[in-house]
Amino acid sequence: MSIVKVKTEGGAYSIHIAPNLLQQVGTSIPPDATSVVLISNPTVFGLYGKTVLQSLEASGKKISVFEVPDGEAYKTLETLNSIYTFLLEQRLDRRAVIVALGGGVIGDMCGFAAATYMRGIRFIQVPTTLLAQVDSSVGGKTAVNHPMGKNMIGAFYQPIAVDIDTTVLGTLPEREIAAGLAEVIKYGLILDAGFFDWCEQNVASLKALEPEAIGYAVQRSCELKAYVVSEDEKETGMRAILNLGHTFGHAIEAGLGFGTWLHGEAVGCGMVQAAELSARVCGFPQADVERVRALVAAIGCPVTAPDLGTDKWIELMQIDKKAEGGKIKFIVMPGIGQAKSQTVPREDLMLVLKKTTQKG
């Protein structure tokens, strides 16, 4: 088992990474917990619910299970409210612990439920998608969507543990693996050129989910994310580099309607766009743009953005959370393994959009 420690002002905790770890989730329940609520969706619960339940039951606590419908469309205030109602019906007090079993949707929503039920109870992340394992379960961002914007309602709230079972990735559709690998590559691009090289060399093993390769990729991603988050829990500075490719990506997701492209797919494509932008505004070598494009394509993500129309692109990028005071800031790379936040001239942005979007 690999252990990655996360330390933030909001709390310190460990990420445990190992094959077949679901069987040990029960050991993460703190002794003073009064009860445990396992929250999942029918897809994931159907596959892994029994294993996790068995492990939780060994903790000797009162266990209850709540399932929410599967899908980003249900990451809403309404579903959240159904979670609150369930917790209240079960008469759960402040020492109850939520176990979030699922992808980023379950993790984000359960994290926010934990952050706000009775002003905060403890929760454990058990991420089951690659994206959730390398990204959303680490760092304490929790949220639900609002009809007017993704993740607009949320909190910074840290779990007490993250239990990552890499074996469960075997039942994920190929597209989900590709989407998760986009975030893996991101860490190399913003912080660790050596890891980016490693990803290039191991792309076939990663796509095939070879245990050693995927285990290392998850571990290194968690380490890099944990490092960033410990420096800047609340995204007042450095943490913004994690948004490489995300301003473009969110615009794609929103522009096509959420769910058309997966988050990671949009981010994969967004990173190609960010690389092109970096070449224009901060000297990122054009040869490296092509390496980014090739690796994003190799993991199976799109590298050409949809044609949303220029006005729509601009509109969608401005409503994004990262837009402050009307100016658009982007995360750009002076080189592979380096990233910074920078306001970019509208002109350069236009040229990049022109170059990277599909011609209808």
Annotated binding site for NAD(+): 70-75, 104-108, 128-129, 141, 150
Q: Give me the sheet containing 161-165, strands edge to edge.
A: 2-8, 11-18, 161-165, 122-127, 96-102, 35-40, 62-67
Q: Which residues contact 230 (CB under 8 A, 6 or more apart)?
A: 6, 7, 8
Q: Catalytic annotation on 322?
A: no
> What's the token pair of residue 6?
């996360």
CA 105 to chain centre: 9
Among 13, 45, 66, 117, binds a copy of itself (CB under 8 A): 117
Among 52, 68, 115, 240, binds a copy of itself (CB under 8 A): 115
Shortest distance, position 280 Cβ to ligand NAD, whole Å: 27
Q: Catalytic annotation on 122?
A: no
Q: Catalytic annotation on 20?
A: no
Mark the segment that binds ligand NAD (CB under 6 A) among 28-36, 169-177, 199-207, 330-338.
Answer: 169-177
Is 82 one of the binding residues for ligand NAD (CB under 6 A)? no
Q: What DSSP element (H or E) covers 186?
A: helix 174-191
Give whole-number Cα distances, 185 to 13, 76, 162, 333, in Å.
25, 29, 21, 14
Judged by DSSP in three states, 156 sits in strand
Mark the segment that binds a copy of itself (CB under 8 A) among 124-132, 135-143, 198-206, 271-279.
Answer: 135-143
As a whole number of angstroms, the distance between CA 238 and CA 75 comes to 27
Q: Catalytic annotation on 146?
A: no
Number of residues in contact with ligand NAD, rule: CB under 6 A? 28
Q: Catalytic annotation on 16?
A: no
Q: Which residues contact 31 (CB under 8 A, 6 or more apart)?
A: none
> What's the token pair of residue 250?
């969110």
Report helix angle 193-201 to 174-191, nearest 10.
Answer: 150
Mark the segment that binds Zn ion (CB under 5 A) among 14-22, 94-102, 145-153, 262-270.
Answer: 262-270
Shortest distance, position 161 Cβ to ligand NAD, whole Å: 16
> What's the token pair of residue 268?
């994969």
Report helix angle 310-318 to 246-256, nearest 10.
Answer: 120
User: Which amino acids are annotated as binding site, given as ranges?
Assistant: 70-75, 104-108, 128-129, 141, 150, 183, 246, 263
Report the partner that residue 231 touches, choosing among Zn ion, ligand NAD, a copy of itself, none (CB closer than 5 to 8 A by kind). Answer: none
Rounded to 5 degrees, φ, ψ at 28 are: -85, -10
Report the partner that residue 319 touches, choosing among Zn ion, a copy of itself, ligand NAD, none (CB closer than 5 to 8 A by kind). Answer: a copy of itself
Is 165 one of the binding residues for ligand NAD (CB under 6 A)? no
Number of residues in contact with Zn ion, rule: CB under 5 A? 1
Q: What is the DSSP letter of 145?
A: E
Q: What DSSP element (H or E) covers 97?
A: strand 96-102
Is 131 one of the binding residues for ligand NAD (CB under 6 A)? yes
Shortest distance, position 186 Cβ to ligand NAD, whole Å: 10
> Could you say which of 225, 233, 253, 293 is catalytic?
225
As a whole number of angstroms, the distance between CA 123 and CA 120 comes to 9
Among 59, 116, 128, 357, binds a copy of itself (CB under 8 A): 116
Nearer to a copy of itself, 165 or 320 (CB): 320
As a whole number of angstroms, the distance between CA 89 and CA 161 comes to 26
Closest CA to 163 of 100, 116, 211: 100
List residues near ligand NAD by CB under 6 A. Answer: 41, 43-44, 47, 70, 72, 75, 102-106, 108, 128-129, 131-132, 135-136, 139, 141, 150-151, 168, 171-172, 176, 263
| Catalytic residue set | 119, 141, 183, 225, 235, 239, 243, 246, 250, 263
